[in-house]
Structure 1
Amino acid sequence: MKAFRATGSFRSGKNNQPYTLDVVAENEADAMERVYSNFGSRHGTPRRFVSIDSMESINPSNSTAPVVVAHFRGDDFSEEE
């Protein structure tokens, strides 16, 4: 599993709201699916209103997202990047 950071925007009412979201996924396609799923469940936003501008693999130690921190707890990343 890897950590990914997605940035983009989603429709909130009549406005677009920018976001940055860190997720844990097997690959980039799975990470995109998790982003769509997250906005659908938390905000009730249809997939067509979620825009993913960039998706990048990140070092998990650079994330403060609880899901990323919990998944990689105990792993040593001092030799990577």
Structure 2
Amino acid sequence: MQAYRIDGVVRQGKTNQDFCIDLVAENEDQVREKVYSNFGSRHGAKRRYITINSITTIDPSESSAPVVVSHFRDK
């Protein structure tokens, strides 16, 4: 498992909202699915309204996201 930082844009109504999320996943395809799933369930955004600009691997110590911190706590 690796930590990833995802930058992109999601359309919410008539405006676009930038986002930057840190997630833990095995590969970039799994990261994409998690982003689409999270925005779809939490905000009701369709996949066609979510644009992922970049996916980068990061050092877990760079992130303050609880999901990343808790996953790499013992490592």
TM over 0.5: yes
Deviation at 1:52, TM superposition (A): 0.1
Determine the structure 2 residue equivalent to 1:18.
18
Higher relative contact order (CA 8 A, sep 6+): 2
In the TM superposition, structure 1's runs of 4+ consecutive aligned residues that sit over 6 Å from their partners are none
- Paired residues, number: 75
Within 5 A, what are the aligned runs for 1:54-65? 54-65=54-65
Q: CA–CA distance in 2 between the matches of 1:65 and 1:31?
A: 15
RMSD: 0.6
Q: Taking structure 2 as the reference length, what is the TM-score of the superposition?
A: 0.96
| Rg larger for | 1
Deviation at 1:5, TM superposition (A): 0.4
Q: Taking structure 1 as the reference length, what is the TM-score of the superposition?
A: 0.90
Determine the structure 2 residue equivalent to 1:70.
70
Unaligned runs of 5+ in 1: 76-81
Unaligned runs of 5+ in 2: none
Which residue identity does 1:47 align to in structure 2?
Answer: R
Query: C-alpha offsets along residues 17-36 of structure 1, whole Å, 9 cap, x if unaligned?
Result: 00000111000111111111
